[in-house]
Amino acid sequence: MISGRCAACKNQRRKCPSDCIFSPYFPANDPQKFACVHKIYGGSNVGKMLQGIPTYLREQTANALYLEAKWRIHDPVYGSVGIISSLYEQIKNAEIELAKIQTQITFYKLQTQHVEAEPNSEVLQSQSSNMEQFEWDNPTIASWFN
Amino acid sequence: MGGSSPCASCKLLRRRCTKECIFAPYFPSDDPRKFAIVHKVFGASNVSKMLQELPIDQRGDAVSSLVYEATARVRDPVYGCVGAISYLQNQVTQLQMQLAVAQAEILSIHQMQQDPSNNNTTLLPSQLLDQDYSEKFLLLSSAENNNNYDFLPQYLSFASSSSSSSNVFQDSEPLKRESFC
């Protein structure tokens, strides 16, 4: 029956058998899906790839192939690799930003602890030399945030 | 006359390698696996069509990215590069949440410094995180580990974002656009 063909068999202008490997994943109402994977991988390659996958994973495989094909069509030079590269960049920038902020937090916490440790002026005087050493041994920390 | 050896693609395809061979600059004969893997996943004729549609100065990068994608697909026949992208998006999301918490904490510290009377009652965001958010982080991570790609279409516009573990990352950080090959 011609009307029951999947998108792949319609695209290839052939009969769609009952055991067509494409039909569960490339329905007739979404012709673009098969058109994309066909353009990048070729229909027979897609068929071979699906055949090598257990049935319960074939839908995810077809969807992943479709995504990669779409990205490759959108960016013919880098495809999905461009996205990976961009994500690495985002991760690197976020890690740098996070490290900066966490360093700031640590500095402020240390400052607060230092201030809270000197409620008594006698204690302050007796430990004055130690305090100076603690506070001013690391001038570079304060200079990071100026 | 010249006797130069055929490129890897013409060797594999068993045909004469002409001067105009589109593959020869990118698939030298000393690295046959490179073409073999690209041919396996994409097919030689599809690769040829893709290269023909590109300016010559972009073909090298295109070949490198095709090799990378083909390698990812062979390593992970189900998800290929999509698995890697899912994993990285998950990392970005988690980092963004950590950043938000850290930024809120800095703000909180500033506020406490300006209004010391609030010191005893205000919990820092990191303390709140320890109580509630750690559970939510775990739930979020496990949900995304179900290989749900619903969030992936956001990448069609290459906008910055928000898994699954991926076995694609057997190499270190793969490549940057300017450092292919």
A66 and A93 fall within a common domain: no
CB spacing of A98 vs B155 below 8 angstroms: no
Of A60, A88, A108, the CB nearest to B79: A60
B17 and B70 fall within a common domain: yes
pTM: 0.71
A87 and A61 fall within a common domain: no
Asked whether residue B40 is domain-assigned, the answer is yes
A62, amino acid identity: A
Percent of chain B with pLDDT over 70: 62
Q: Does any CB of chain B come closer than 8 Å to the CB of residue A67?
A: yes
Asked whether residue B118 is domain-assigned, the answer is yes
Find the closest chain A residue to B68 by CA distance: A81
| Contact yes or no for A76/B146 (Cβ under 8 A) | no
B89 and B46 fall within a common domain: no
Chain B nearest-CA distance from A131, in A, is 21
pLDDT at position A114, please? 75
Find the closest chain A residue to B52 by CA distance: A76
Q: Does any CB of chain B come closer than 8 Å to the CB of residue A47?
A: no
Q: How many Å apart are CA A69 and CA A75, to the nearest integer?
A: 10
Asked whether residue A66 is domain-assigned, the answer is yes
A10 and A68 fall within a common domain: yes
Q: How many Å apart are CA A35 and CA A43, to the nearest integer?
A: 9
B25 and B90 fall within a common domain: no
A50, amino acid identity: L
B54 and B68 fall within a common domain: yes
Q: Does any CB of chain B come closer than 8 Å to the CB of residue A73?
A: no
Task: Please state the domain count of chain B.
Answer: 2
Q: How many Å apart are CA B63 and CA A77, to the nearest integer?
A: 8
Q: Does any CB of chain B come closer than 8 Å to the CB of residue A70?
A: yes
- DSSP secondary-structure letter at A99? H
**Cβ-Cβ contacts under 8 Å for A39 (sequence gap 6 or more):** A69, A73, B46
B131 and B150 fall within a common domain: yes
pLDDT at position B170, please? 46
Containing structural domain, residue B12: 8-75
B150 and B109 fall within a common domain: yes
Q: How many Å apart are CA B21 and CA B147, to the nearest integer?
A: 41
Chain A nearest-CA distance from B83, in A, is 8
The last residue of one of the domains, among B27, B58, B75, is B75
Asked whether residue A137 is domain-assigned, the answer is no
For A47, list phi and psi in degrees, rounded to 5: -60, -45
pLDDT bracket for residue A90 (50, 70, 90): very high
Query: Which chain A residues contact residue B61 at CB under 8 A?
Result: 77-78
Q: How many Å apart are CA B10 and CA B29, to the nearest integer?
A: 9
**Considering only CA atoms, which of B52, B95, B92, B73 is closest in space to residue B166?**
B73
B62 and B124 fall within a common domain: no
A63 and A9 fall within a common domain: yes
Asked whether residue A31 is domain-assigned, the answer is yes
Q: Looking at the predicted structure, is the pLDDT value of residue A65 above 70?
A: yes
User: What tokens appear for A52 in the block?
Assistant: 């090598």
Asked whether residue A138 is domain-assigned, the answer is no
Chain A nearest-CA distance from B108, in A, is 10
Asked whether residue A18 is domain-assigned, the answer is yes
Q: Does any CB of chain B come closer than 8 Å to the CB of residue A139?
A: no
B88 and B149 fall within a common domain: yes
* Predicted ipTM beyond 0.85: no
Give the Cα-Cα-Cα angle B89, B94, B96 (nearest 5 degrees). Answer: 95
- DSSP secondary-structure letter at A81? H
Q: How many Å apart are CA B69 and CA B86, to the nearest integer?
A: 15
Q: How many Å apart are CA B88 and CA B90, to the nearest integer?
A: 5
A23 and A65 fall within a common domain: yes
Asked whether residue A35 is domain-assigned, the answer is yes
CB spacing of B85 vs A65 below 8 angstroms: no
Containing structural domain, residue A91: 79-112
Task: Please state the domain count of chain A.
Answer: 2
Q: How confident is the model over B117-129, as a mean pLDDT?
A: 58
For B156, list phi and psi in degrees, rounded to 5: -65, -30
Chain B nearest-CA distance from A23, in A, is 18
B62 and B115 fall within a common domain: no
Asked whether residue B166 is domain-assigned, the answer is no
CB spacing of A91 vs B92 below 8 angstroms: yes
pLDDT digits (tens, 9 = 90+) for B41-82: 999 999 999 999 999 999 999 999 999 999 999 999 999 999
A32 and A89 fall within a common domain: no
pLDDT bracket for residue B5 (50, 70, 90): confident
Asked whether residue A42 is domain-assigned, the answer is yes
